Structure 1
């Protein structure tokens, strides 16, 4: 089969490999599209050491072509979106059956773009911070995969005000379609917020951004840390100081959840799929690449400023 590997020279290279065989509790999926995400940047940057050569790719959409022991054979032929720990940049990928979710009539591009971002965004809003009607919400990386969906889920949950932090604040018209009331530049953060306080802050950045977020939490506010894109040192947190205002700092790790309680991640993914299927949330696919162009695609993502979801096409239609 055709696959992309991350080679010892830190390049994404198109090659040929044997098709993987599903093990116990797994399915094999013939990939139509695979999603490009920040995990690809981290793997190539060495933040997550992996043996080389390594087949990256953590999310894909396609059809189940084989099942492993313990999986219902009737799943063969089913259209799914699959969450994986590796291997999605290939014509066939193996995934846990519980995290290969039926997508019904959802088109293949949207199903691939769903990826880890959709269940993560759902959990951030509904199971971690528990956004309530009238809450004010601040979202960092606001137009990224998680941020753009989190804003929509927060809006559907009744949030009263949603502010996004982005690299390019000139995309206000686009952001308004996602539920944002205002965009602010990360280069002017936090000064442009003035004295504004938020009930919920979603922070995948860390470092000084996290420290500033703590200063902008309202009484009883909840800040959730779910990444460290900035690469800065960890921020010390004074629990007694938080206690005085009833503020909370929470964490979320979807990859860990997939290993410790995959049924919970799957349940959140089903809820996110329901909103997409009902048209109450949207995912914009901004670019589709061929496998040979993955290196350039990941570089573009790492440079920042991208909007919408980017995919790699393996077997899907190019229209």
Structure 2
């Protein structure tokens, strides 16, 4: 089969690879499209140590072509989106059966783009932050895949005011289309929000942005962290200061959840995808690349030149 491999030189290339066979509790997915996400950048840059050559790709859509021991053979032929630990940029990918989620009503592009992004956005808003009607929400990276969908899930939850932060002016109109009441650029943050306070802040950025977010929390506000796009620099937080204002610092790690409670993640994915299939949440696929262009797709994401979601066409 054809697959993209990440070599020791840090380059992506298309090569022939052995077709993987599903083991116990696994399914083999005949991949049509694979999503491009930040994990691909982290692997490329060496933040996730993996043996190379490595077949990257953490989210893939297609049909189940074979099942391993203990998996219902009736699932063969089922259209799914698979949440993976790698191997998505290939014609066949193996996934845990529990994390191959039915993608009925979605085309291959949309299903692949949902990947980890859609359940993450759903969980950030509903499971972790518990956004309530009338609350104010601040969403960083609001022009990205998770951020754009988080804005929409927050609106469905009844948020009263949603402010998005984006990388540059060229992204402000795009983020506003998702439903932000106001959009500010990263270079204007946090000064542009002086005097405002938020019940919920969603932060995948880290560093100085994380420290600024703490100052923007309203009493009983929740800061939800789920990444370190800008820096892995640790941020110290005083539990006493949080206690004094009834505030919370919460973390969400979907990769860990897939290992510790896969059924819980799959449930969130199914509920979130139902909102997409019903048209209440939009996944914006802004670019589609050929398999040989995977390196370009990952590079554009790393450079902040991607809006919404990008996918790679595998078949």
**TM value normalised by structure 1:** 0.97
Q: What pairs with 1:124-273 in structure 2 (closer than 5 Å)?
A: 124-273=124-273
Report how far residue 204 of structure 1 moved.
0.5
Q: Is the 8 A contact 1:168 1:305 kept in 2?
A: no
Cα distance, 1:232 vs. partner?
A: 4.2
Matched with 2:8 is 8
Q: Distance in 1 between matches of 2:42 and 2:172?
A: 29
- Give 5+ residue unaligned stretches, structure 1: none
Quote the offset at 1:294 in angstroms: 1.1
Per-residue CA distance 1:221-268 (angstroms, 9 max, x = gap): 000111111114111000001100001000000000000000000010
Change (3 A) 1:13 1:170: closer
CA RMSD of aligned residues (A): 0.9
How many residues were matched structurally? 315
In 1, Cα distance between equivalents of 2:162 and 2:256: 28
Query: Retained in 1: the 8 A contact 2:166–2:172?
Result: no
Q: Could you say which residue in structure 2 is the equivalent of 1:69?
A: 69
Question: Cα distance, 1:106 vs. partner?
Answer: 1.0
Following TM superposition, the consecutive aligned residue runs of length 4 or more in structure 1 with deviations greater than 4 angstroms are: none
CA distance in 1 between counterparts of 2:152 and 2:270 reads 16
User: 1:74-111 CA distances to partner (integer Å, 9 max, x unpaired)?
Assistant: 10011101100000000000001111111112111100
CA distance in 2, matches of 1:170, 1:126: 29
Separation in structure 2 between the aligned mates of residue 171 and residue 8 of structure 1, nearest angstrom: 34
Question: TM-score scaled to structure 2, two decimals?
Answer: 0.98
Contact 1:33 1:108 in 2 (8 A): yes
Counterparts of 1:84-95 in structure 2, within 5 Å, are 84-95=84-95
Matched residues in 1 for 2:176 and 2:302: separation? 25
Counterpart of 2:168 in 1: which secondary structure?
coil
